[in-house]
Amino acid sequence: MRTALTDLTGVRHPIVQTGMGWVSGPRLVTATARAGALGILASATMTPDQLRSAVREVRSRTDAPFGVNLRADAGDARERVRIIVEEGVRVASFALAPSKELIAELKDAGVVVIPSAGARRHAEKVAAWGADAVIVQGGEGGGHTGSLATTVLLPQVVDAVDIPVIAAGGFHDGRGLVAALAYGAAGVAMGTRFLLTSDSTVPDAVKARYLAATVRDITLTTAVDGLPHRMLRTEMVAELEGAGRMRALSRAVRQAARFRRISGHSWPGMVRDGLALRHGKGLTWGQVLLAANTPMLLRAAMVEGRVDVGIMASGQVAALIEDLPSVGMLVGRVMAEADDALASLPLRERNDSAARSGSVAPSGPAADSSPPGA
């Protein structure tokens, strides 16, 4: 299925595996690239040296295109950009809007720049600054997310910008891909669905917790870091929501120190990142400390398998997912489902029937049997 996304990035299928911290490592990204979709390495939980090593590991296993996700507000963002350029990575994606200068630097080096946005005005801004495409995530998506549903946000952004738009938030199958294409998107991005595959390194006990989740088990909370964060409702989430301010801050300071040791970040660097986060989101210093705590709470679950003391970011689609296919099986299934969905559209059936009876004479674009978005 050829769309503006496949043309832009060189992948075979209009599907993106998002950059999830502690989850989107070399194994998952390699499997995604081999399956013909766009895999994205999550670099925010890696040191620069670990990032370079991860890029080289993926490159040694496949020559298919893949990308790296960056935090635009990180103090070492330019160092990570240099690694992307030097290692010949095809795509750079961003969790926050990168600066106009950072976009220009990457584009000058031939890197495709795809920021993420949760509002139309943010998409318009990065498009004006030269981004090649934009991922727009509706409130159904996991992790930090907004309040606007994908079905409302997506058409707004498609109508507002003249670059390819990739839909995120609520996608897990081929029907969703076809729906996104019908809205005018060039493809879909999925996080939770790729997390729940056999190629994901997330511990089995954590995957089981996701598979058992119902819609009521997925919540949106500000208790973790002061920002709206969609995740599974767990013991830790309940504890954080019930914790007093001082207790939460004390825990955050301890966890921030642990994250510094694991990530290799310096205290001055973490303070700079905190300042950028505070400025960009209007957070109090207390919220900044809580935000510094988040990577370790995610690591406790996603790496250590501690569902009792960790948090598990999750899109609402977790309630619809019941299996753990390989990435190759997943991508193949999504594309087969998309083909079936296109073939079974009632409108198409009626048009085909009318054309055979002679009551409709297809001409021009209407006669093209290419799928929407192609």
- Does residue 350 form part of some domain? no
Q: Does the residue 343 lie in any domain?
A: no
- Do 141 and 242 share a domain, yes or no? no
Q: In what order do the strands lie in the sheet with 143-144?
A: 143-144, 229-232, 218-221
Q: Are residues 51 and 190 in the same domain?
A: yes
pLDDT given at position 236: 83
Q: Tell me, what's the pLDDT at 226?
A: 76
* Residues 262 and 297 reside in one and the same domain: yes
Residue that wins the pLDDT comparison between 317 and 348:
317
Question: Same domain, yes or no, for 327 and 309?
Answer: no
Evaluate if residue 274 carries a pLDDT over 80.
Answer: no
Domain identity same for 29 and 160 = yes
CATH number at residue 73: 3.20.20.70
Q: What's the total number of domains in the chain?
A: 2
Distance of CA 85 to the CA centre of its chain: 21
Nearest to 10, CA basis, from 59, 67, 52, 56: 67
Q: How many CB atoms lie within 10 A of CB 205?
A: 11
User: Does residue 89 sit in the same domain as residue 69?
Assistant: yes
Residue 75 pLDDT greater than 90, yes or no: no
Kindly state whether residues 158 and 277 are assigned to the same domain.
no
What single DSSP character describes residue 21? Answer: T
Q: Note whether residue 368 is domain-resident.
A: no
Residue 356: pLDDT over 80: no
The first and second tokens of residue 179, run together, are: 């729906």
Instruction: Establish if 277 belongs to a structural domain.
Output: yes
pLDDT at position 244 is 63
Q: pLDDT tens across 87-117, in order?
A: 999 999 998 889 999 999 999 999 999 999 9
Residue 290's pLDDT is 66
Domain holding 291, by residue range, is: 214-313
What integer best gives the mean pLDDT of the chain? 88
Q: Same domain for 187 and 228?
A: no
The predicted structure's pLDDT at residue 14? 98
Q: Does 207 map to a domain?
A: no
User: Are 119 and 169 contained in the same domain?
Assistant: yes
> 185 and 167: one domain?
yes
Using one digit for the tens of pLDDT, what is the confidence trace for 159-185? 999 999 999 999 999 999 999 999 999
Classify residue 108 as exposed, middle or buried by CB count within 10 Å of its CB (0-12, 13-18, 19+). Answer: exposed
Indicate whether 162 and 36 sit together in one domain: yes
Helix 267-281, helix 285-302: angle, nearest 10: 110
Co-location of 159 and 230 in the same domain: no
Instruction: Check if the beta carbon of residue 28 is closer than 8 Å to that of residue 42.
Output: no
Number of Cβ within a 10 Å radius of residue 285: 11
Residue 92 lies in a domain: yes
**Residue linked to tokens 């109090």:** 284
Residue 219, beta-bridge partner list: 231
Specify if 96 maps to a domain.
yes
Instruction: Note whether residue 354 is domain-resident.
Output: no
